[in-house]
Amino acid sequence: MDDGAPIRVVRHGNPSGPRVVLSHGNGFASDSYFPFWRHMLERFDLTLYDVRNCGRNPFHAGEAHDYPRFVRDFAQVHGAIAEEWGEKTTIGVFHSMTAIAALLAIIDGVWHWDALVLFDPPVVPPEGDPRRGPLVSEGETLRAAALIRQNRFRDPEELAEVFRWLHRFRRLRPGVAELNARSVLHFDRDSGEWLLRCPGALEADLYTDVAELEIWRQPNPAGRPLLIVGSDPVPEDAPKTAPCCKLFCETFGIEYAFVPDTTHLLQLEEPEQCFALFDAFLADNEVGTGKSCAIT
């Protein structure tokens, strides 16, 4: 990046297909989403990247680990992918933290995509809306937990056991806890321990900073292909993000869908349903058929 932070992009799938650029939510890495993106491998030219200081990227610095920085990184990563592998139809697929960064970019008038699919972005409503308080409170709880998070482990299984114990991970597909542990840890030869690539203290403020972002604005005035897929808003114990996503789409006329019986981690709970919604959206908008509407 322009401040020296390294971001690695990994390419999988079909190099002749339309390009998908995919990234992850806070506390995860792109490799964590294999149960979802494995369905893309046959037909799509898949490029995965991790947010700075996360996943496959070495630690750079903590002071620029925030949403405005992620938006700038988006533009540089997009340009580097096109320069390295050529211009082509490109679909963005982002979850939670990176979905918010994608929304911030298009609110600022920057659209990199032929289509954009966002999974359960935590769009905090403005003051006065009854849905704001519960989502803000949840962010504060997650921030507090991140600040005291264990950063060193004897092996990935120790962290996987933590994930299996957490209530908010209760619906993950079998094997995802282990996958995520290996995706967010790296082995430190000096200590002989496994360390979180992104320490909890570094990710903590992202859970609460989102409430201060100017996100509750029309993000798609030109009517470009944009789909938001939310977690299930129906149950009494629905994720706090779910009704906010639904309201955001209703307010701004954005195409919306949700996946029944899912939480905020819907791509890791019902990956087949999430992929089916993504695939149907592309077909409905004739994206990947040779037509292109991407601008920079």
Q: pLDDT tens digits for 184-237? A: 999 999 999 999 999 999 999 999 999 999 999 888 767 799 999 999 999 988
Rounded CA separation 233/258 (Å): 8
Rounded CA separation 271/292 (Å): 27
Query: Can you give the pLDDT at residue 296?
Result: 35
Give all strands (DSSP E) within the chain, no chain letters: 9-13, 19-22, 45-49, 90-95, 115-119, 152-153, 185-188, 193-196, 226-230, 255-258
Query: Can you give the pLDDT at residue 62?
Result: 75
Place 289 in a pLDDT band, splitting at 50, 70 and 90. Answer: low
Rounded CA separation 292/90 (Å): 9
Give Cα 246 distance to the centre of its chain: 18
Locate 250 and state its tokens.
Answer: 């209703």
Locate 173 and state its tokens.
Answer: 């597909």
> What CATH superfamily is the domain 9-150+205-284?
Alpha/Beta hydrolase fold, catalytic domain (3.40.50.1820)
Q: 3-state class of 177 per DSSP?
A: helix
61/166: higher pLDDT: 166
pLDDT at 18 over 90: yes
How is the chain split into domains, by residue range? 9-150+205-284
The answer to whether the CB of 66 falls within 8 A of the CB of 137 is: no
pTM: 0.95
pLDDT at 171 over 50: yes
Rounded mean pLDDT of 286-295? 59
Average pLDDT taken over every residue of the chain: 94
Query: In the beta sheet, which residues pair with residue 22?
Result: 48, 93
Query: Can you give the pLDDT at residue 221?
Result: 66
129 dihedral zone (left: phi>0; alpha: psi -120 to 50; beta): beta
The terminus-to-terminus CA distance of the chain in angstroms comes to 18
The answer to whether the CB of 223 falls within 8 A of the CB of 115 is: no
Q: 3-state class of 163 per DSSP?
A: helix
Query: Can you give the pLDDT at residue 292?
Result: 40
Query: In the beta sheet, which residues pair with residue 93?
Result: 22, 117
Rounded mean pLDDT of 241-247? 97
Locate 192 and state its tokens.
Answer: 């002989």
Query: Can you give the pLDDT at residue 294?
Result: 40
